[in-house]
Amino acid sequence: MRLCLCMVYGDTIHDEYVVTPKQVIHRKKVQVQYDGTSDDIQIDGAFYHYLIKELFLSHYYRIHFLYHWFNNHNKCLSLMLMHTSYDMIDYKWNERIYEMVRERSELDHTFSWLSTLGGGFSALGDYFTKCAEIAGKISIHQLQIGLRLGDPNITARCRLYFSLSLIQKKKFRLAKYIIQREFCDAKQSTVIDQRLLNMCKGIWAKLQYEYHIYKKSRKRSKLC
């Protein structure tokens, strides 16, 4: 049982396949004039793609295709390719993806601006409490964006930025809790981010230093 399958577009044969129960052989890509000697079927361009794919992949489908064809037809079949009767592009899904890409782009852009702004206020936060407070608020906005983006590493960094502003405002207990929790989560993560661990260690060192300075200043003020 052997079937010669030709793909015809216009009046030209473009592809030839040999279909047997065991396999489909793509014999050659040709461009020769179609003489009209074989049986022909008009077929939608999209359906042709899926038909050939299924013949290649499914042994069961191949057997039944050959069986039903050989009962009533010749050993040659020409598939006359027609234009698709419907749009291949899913416009509604395309619109949805477009909105998602635009949103992601805007969120990334906003996050970058907030990172720059937050870095500036965080640097000034060592000297001015008001700046530390603004840096903390910026970190919360970044955290909201990070949650929207769905990136756990970004959200972890935002919480660490917030802990940094807490250290600058002398709220050491809450800062300590945040840093320890983020460090434990980072160590237990499936993919360990070494930069995140180093960030935790760096902010922890700052916490220890600032707390040490704070304790010394408290002792001095008591003596006075």
The mean-pLDDT minimum among 37-46, 167-176, 179-188 falls in 37-46
Q: Is the pLDDT of residue 36 over 70?
A: no
Domain span at residue 16 reads: 3-82
For the segment 69-84, the average pLDDT, to the nearest whole number, is 75
The pLDDT value given to residue 166: 95
Q: Is there a domain that residue 217 lies in?
A: no
Is residue 26 domain-shared with residue 69, that is, in the same domain?
Answer: yes
Is residue 99 domain-shared with residue 179, that is, in the same domain?
Answer: yes
Last residue of a domain, one of 47, 65, 82: 82
Q: Is the pLDDT of residue 92 over 90?
A: no
Q: What is the CATH number of the domain that holds 112?
A: 1.25.40
Last residue of a domain, one of 45, 60, 82: 82
Is residue 62 domain-shared with residue 134, that is, in the same domain?
Answer: no
Is residue 25 domain-shared with residue 98, that is, in the same domain?
Answer: no
- In angstroms, the CA 151 to CA 124 distance is 28
Is residue 98 domain-shared with residue 72, that is, in the same domain?
Answer: no
Is residue 32 a contact partner of residue 12, using CB atoms and an 8 Å limit?
yes
The pLDDT value given to residue 79: 82
Q: Is there a domain that residue 213 lies in?
A: no
Is residue 135 domain-shared with residue 177, that is, in the same domain?
Answer: yes
Is residue 111 domain-shared with residue 170, that is, in the same domain?
Answer: yes
Q: Is there a domain that residue 30 lies in?
A: yes
Task: Please state the domain count of the chain.
Answer: 2
Q: What is the DSSP string of 18-81?
A: EE-SS-EEEEEEEEEE----SEEEEEEHHHHHHHHHHHHH-HHHHHHHHHHHHHHS-SEEEEEE
Last residue of a domain, one of 21, 49, 82: 82
